[in-house]
């Protein structure tokens, strides 16, 4: 910090500055004869003239303050800091809160020093008076500093009474002190400074809030404050908060409070409902394996997971779970009441798709490439096995789907790469780098990133032309590709198999249909989008609307595109 450098010079002005620096250094090493006002002035001066960046200067200054408070401030460091806290607001808002925080934090490590305990006890009365002065706006400090002051000096109601009525307290002085604080609590509540209100309520045992106040806190999403207040008010109010959470479907928060306050007897179903909601969320994300692990220990939860798989139309998952956990009887009891809802979703039949072609050998790759090169518009997507371990690398891309409006190819990238990576690279470069084929994807840059990570030595996924990300074309539509399909085509996509095992061979027919649909639907969405613009039709006006989103990235190839 440049201001603390002691450098001599022939220049009188420089020497005067260095003399000030020496004074400053002396002050920080011995506070025994330095008034609080001068100390605060020097803090500001040191900060203003320091040569480091603001954050670094503040950290350095804080370390100096910690050391300085060990160096004989009179009458003691805690009393000295309270005196400083009266002066800091005079520096203005630019410095007040930061310097106040610095001073209060610097005292934290001194509280454990036995020789400082006497000064802390004596300073409490002065700190209590400062609290009252802040509450009455005589000394302008932010609420956060007021809270820190209460915590650092461990201010109790008796300290407030002492500051109000003197050291000889009578029986009703504590009652009067509590009533005095209650008036400030009401003011904070009226101004909606609820955090400060609850801090005073809990610290000084102020009976000042009711059910309506708690509900107001919850409705304004001030949940931590509501829970703190309810805990102070007792079991009945905690139960009220839990019930409110249940009404709002906030099962995680409700379950946490039930556990913390041992209210299982009063709310016996909350734990199960919370587990059920977790299983449902995982199923909705397609994380069926994780959902199964969560449900494993409870038959009722496993039955619910089977029900979710039925509802999603995930037939093979239903069969898999029933076989593994002997739940065939449960399924039989549900089928008459609830049919699979696959009809609620878009499928290949509704789009009149003629065929899905599985490609896992070189001749098939060459034939598919020739067909795709003759297309004007194709949809593209890829899949890889999900990896749910934290901080682990994603699995290698397993398949890539490329489709026209009538035909879908699913390429087994793992096998094709093992058989002949050179031919695989050449074929896909012919597709990716063709300026005659409009290639549609959804969040396609993510797919390309995964492909590059999986097959980085291939050039085919590093260069492309005529690429259109449908996510960017339809920025206002939510719900992913399924949401876009519902918006444009009138029906969404069943994403239940999204996180299935894409490395298993052979893929199930349902997996193939799921994968193919993600590519085919892009072409149909694009055609429908064009059809809805009669004022342009297929003219240049319509083309310009989507063409601005088309991107290309062509690197210099090391090998020719043709075989």
**DSSP collapsed to 3 states, 83-145:** HHHHHHHHHCHHHHHHHHHHHHHHHHHHCCCHHHHHHHHHHHHHHHHHHHHHHCCCCCCCHHH
pLDDT at 335: 56
Q: Which residue do the tokens 């597709």 mark?
A: 431
Q: Cβ contacts of residue 301 below 8 Å, gap of 6+?
A: 272, 275, 276, 279, 294, 295
- pLDDT > 90: percent of the chain: 60
**pLDDT per position as a tens digit, 55-66:** 888 888 888 888
- Return the closest-CA partner of residue 87 out of 147, 144, 130: 130
Using the 8-state DSSP alphabet, how is residue 393 labeled?
P
**pLDDT per position as a tens digit, 347-400:** 999 999 999 999 999 999 999 999 999 999 999 999 998 876 766 777 899 999
Please say whether the beta carbons of 186 and 216 come within 8 A.
no
Position 39 confidence tier, pLDDT thresholds 50, 70, 90 = confident
pLDDT exceeds 70 at position 10: no
pLDDT at 266: 94
- Spell out the domain ranges in the chain: 2-233, 287-344, 355-553
The tokens describing 412, both together, are 């087994």
CA 41/CA 444 separation, integer angstroms: 59
pLDDT at 420: 96
Q: Which class in CATH covers the domain with range 355-553?
A: alpha beta
pLDDT exceeds 60 at position 485: yes
Query: What's the average model confidence in pLDDT over 532-545?
Result: 56
Position 314 confidence tier, pLDDT thresholds 50, 70, 90 = confident
Would you tell me how many other CB atoms lie within 10 Å of the CB of residue 370? 11
Please say whether the beta carbons of 60 and 1 come within 8 A.
yes
Q: Please give the helix or strand (H or E) that residue 377 lies within, else none.
A: strand 377-384
How does the average pLDDT of the chain come out, rounded?
86
Please say whether the beta carbons of 78 and 123 come within 8 A.
yes
Q: How many CA atoms lie within 13 A of 307 on its CB side?
A: 16
Position 339 confidence tier, pLDDT thresholds 50, 70, 90 = very low
DSSP string, 464-526: EEEEEEHHHHTTT--SHHHHHHHHHHS-----TTTTS-TTSSSPPHHHHHHHHHHHHHHHHHH
CA 534/CA 102 separation, integer angstroms: 67
Please say whether the beta carbons of 76 and 107 come within 8 A.
no
Q: How many CA atoms lie within 13 A of 482 on its CB side?
A: 14
Q: How many CA atoms lie within 13 A of 238 on its CB side?
A: 18
Query: What's the average model confidence in pLDDT over 433-457?
Result: 94
Whole-structure pTM over 0.75, yes or no? no
Q: How many CA atoms lie within 13 A of 288 on its CB side?
A: 24
CB contact burial 22-41 (16+ within 10 A = b; e otherwise): eebbebbeebeebebeebbe
- pLDDT > 70: percent of the chain: 89
- Return the closest-CA partner of residue 163 out of 118, 192, 133: 133
Q: Cβ contacts of residue 211 below 8 Å, gap of 6+?
A: 237, 240
Task: Give the distance from CA 242 to its chain's centroid.
Answer: 24
Please count the helices (runs of H) and the strands (runs of E) in the chain: 27, 7
């Amino acid at each position: 910090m440049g201001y603390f450098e002691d450098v001599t010079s022939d220049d009188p002005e420089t020497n005067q500055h260095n003399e000030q620096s020496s004074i400053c250094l002396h002050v920080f090493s011995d506070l025994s004869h330095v008034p609080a006002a001068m100390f605060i002035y020097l803090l500001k001066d040191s900060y203003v003239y320091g040569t480091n960046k603001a954050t670094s200067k503040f950290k350095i200054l804080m370390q100096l303050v910690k050391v300085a408070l060990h160096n004989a401030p009179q009458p003691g460091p805690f009393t000295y800091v309270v005196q400083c806290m009266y002066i800091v607001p005079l520096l203005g808002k630019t410095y007040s809160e930061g310097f106040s925080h610095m001073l209060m934090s610097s005292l934290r490590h001194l509280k454990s020093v036995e020789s400082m305990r006497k000064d802390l006890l004596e300073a409490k009365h002065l700190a209590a008076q400062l609290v009252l002065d802040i509450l009455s706006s005589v000394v302008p400090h932010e609420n956060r500093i007021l809270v820190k002051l209460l915590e650092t000096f461990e201010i109790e109601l008796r300290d407030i009474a002492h500051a109000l009525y003197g050291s000889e307290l009578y029986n009703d002085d504590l009652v009067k002190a509590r009533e005095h604080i209650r008036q400030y609590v009401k003011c904070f509540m009226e101004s909606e400074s609820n955090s400060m209100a609850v801090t005073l309520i809990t610290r000084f045992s102020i009976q000042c809030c009711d059910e309506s106040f708690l509900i107001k806190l919850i409705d304004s999403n001030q949940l931590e404050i509501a829970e703190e207040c309810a805990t102070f008010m007792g079991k009945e109010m905690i139960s009220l908060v839990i019930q409110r959470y249940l009404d709002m479907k906030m099962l995680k928060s409700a379950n946490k409070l039930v556990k913390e306050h041992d209210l299982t007897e009063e709310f016996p179903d909350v734990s199960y409902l919370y587990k059920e909601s977790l299983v449902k969320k995982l199923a909705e994300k397609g994380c069926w394996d994780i959902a199964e692990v969560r449900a494993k220990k409870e038959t009722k939860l496993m039955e619910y997971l089977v029900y979710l798989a039925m509802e999603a139309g995930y037939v093979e998952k239903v069969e898999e779970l029933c076989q593994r956990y002997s739940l065939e009887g449960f399924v039989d009891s549900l089928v008459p009441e609830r049919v699979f809802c696959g009809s609620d979703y878009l499928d290949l039949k509704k789009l009149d798709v003629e065929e899905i072609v599985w490609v896992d050998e070189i001749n098939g790759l060459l034939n598919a490439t020739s067909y795709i090169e003759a297309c004007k518009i194709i949809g593209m997507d890829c899949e890889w096995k999900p990896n749910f371990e934290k901080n682990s690398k994603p699995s290698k891309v397993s398949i890539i789907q490329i489709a026209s409006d009538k035909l879908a190819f699913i390429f087994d990238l793992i096998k094709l790469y093992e058989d002949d990576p050179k031919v695989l690279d050449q074929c896909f470069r012919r597709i990716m780098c063709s300026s005659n084929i409009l290639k549609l994807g959804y969040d396609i840059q993510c797919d390309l990133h995964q492909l590059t990570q999986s097959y980085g030595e291939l050039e085919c996924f590093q260069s492309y032309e005529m690429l259109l990300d449908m996510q960017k074309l339809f920025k206002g539509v939510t719900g992913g590709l399924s949401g876009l399909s519902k918006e444009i085509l009138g029906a969404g996509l069943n994403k239940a198999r999204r996180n299935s095992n894409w490395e298993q061979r052979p893929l199930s027919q349902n997996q193939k249909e799921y994968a193919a649909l993600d590519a085919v639907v892009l072409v149909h969405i694009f055609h429908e989008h064009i059809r809805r613009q009669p004022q342009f039709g297929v003219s240049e006006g319509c083309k310009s609307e989507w063409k601005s989103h088309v991107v290309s990235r062509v690197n210099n190839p090391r090998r020719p595109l043709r075989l």
